[in-house]
Amino acid sequence: MTETLDLKQLQTFRAVVRHGSFARAADELGIAQSTVTLHVQALEAQFATPLFTRLGRRAELTDAGRTLHERAEALLHDAAALQATMDDFGAGLSGNVRIGAIESAASILVLPVLVRFIKQRPRVQLRVEAGGTGSLCDRVLTGELDLALCSPPADPGLLFEHLFDERFVLLLPERHPLAAREHITVEDLSSTRLLVSEPNCEYRVRVEAALLGSGTQPYSGIEIGTVVGLKRAVQAGFGAAIVPIAPVTPTPAGTVVRELEGVDIRLPIGMVQRRETGFASPALRELAERIRSALSAPVEELLAAAAD
């Protein structure tokens, strides 16, 4: 059976070649000359051929020694590069990180964290995706994503770490009859066309549950696929929408933002990871800690800080 090459023996061999002397190689490596001799003898036994001829105190390469030296240099270079790569990985300086975030506060607030992280960890490969809670959690579960910022998952195979609550507000066209009022209740919405997001969106689920519980039917027949789309539809005068506060801070042109009295709609947002693997890589653990530190505050404070 072929023996495995010993990198320490190859490093000793290279030092002897560099100095042409066993004694000087021992001085460079900080080992006994007898150890240098043992390393070279082990290589000669492994390859069943002499690697050096000795002329007095000088060691010169044999033909076999020259062949080994040519290949050993490349091998030792690759080994050093691999060691450096793995050292960087272990220190969180390299690796691949794949995260997902739902629209609104999660995606808005995490961007400054990601920018700082990549500036300080330029060798980390980062991929960021947007989506709904359901699709993001499915991708975390299958290993396509390492981490998701979203609302609580339904699958017991996922862990949820709460970071903040996203509060909802009423967004109105500036010429809407209710726009001039400072106090608006759920009952005031009975004659207002409310725009809603897609059926499976967690935002819509929260809004419908709150309004139906107060006796108000939120569905007007107009569905807009994204929160950004809802904001633009309100700007265009299509109707009003109950939306997360983040995408309407600051208030979009042509609209007004009002608190909706009599109902408190909030969506918990946090980090989702697989239960059995957690944050597996050092880079991912570092990023998760930064996200945890940056987003564990009331969303209004986070948005104010982001605006500054």
Rounded to the nearest angstrom, the gap between the alpha carbon of residue 268 and the centroid of all alpha carbons in its chain is 20
User: How many domains does one find in the chain?
Assistant: 3
Instruction: Report if residue 294 sits inside a domain.
Output: yes
214 & 130 share domain: no
Mean pLDDT of the chain: 86
Domain residue limits at 41: 7-88
Mean pLDDT of 34-45: 93
Question: Alpha carbon of 16 to those of 19, 37, 103, 215, 239: distances in Å?
Answer: 5, 10, 62, 88, 82
178 & 226 share domain: yes
150 & 281 share domain: yes
Question: How does DSSP classify residue 253?
Answer: T
Question: Taking the complete model, does pTM exceed 0.75, yes or no?
Answer: no
255 & 292 share domain: no
Mean pLDDT of 9-35: 92
| Residues 268-303: tens digit of each pLDDT | 999 999 988 777 788 888 899 999 988 876 666 666
Instruction: Report if residue 2 sits inside a domain.
Output: no
173 & 258 share domain: yes
CB within 8 Å of 84: residues ≥ 6 apart: none
- Residue 24 binned pLDDT confidence (cut-offs 50, 70, 90): very high
| Residues 198-255: tens digit of each pLDDT | 887 888 888 888 888 777 776 677 888 888 899 999 999 999 999 998 888 889 999 9
Please determine, for residue 93, whether its predicted confidence score (pLDDT) is greater than 90. Answer: no
CA atoms of 108 and 14, how far apart (whole Å):
54
Q: What is the CATH number of the domain that holds 59?
A: 1.10.10.10
153 & 290 share domain: yes
63 & 177 share domain: no
Q: Tell me, what's the pLDDT at 1?
A: 39
Instruction: Report if residue 1 sits inside a domain.
Output: no
Mean pLDDT of 28-38: 93
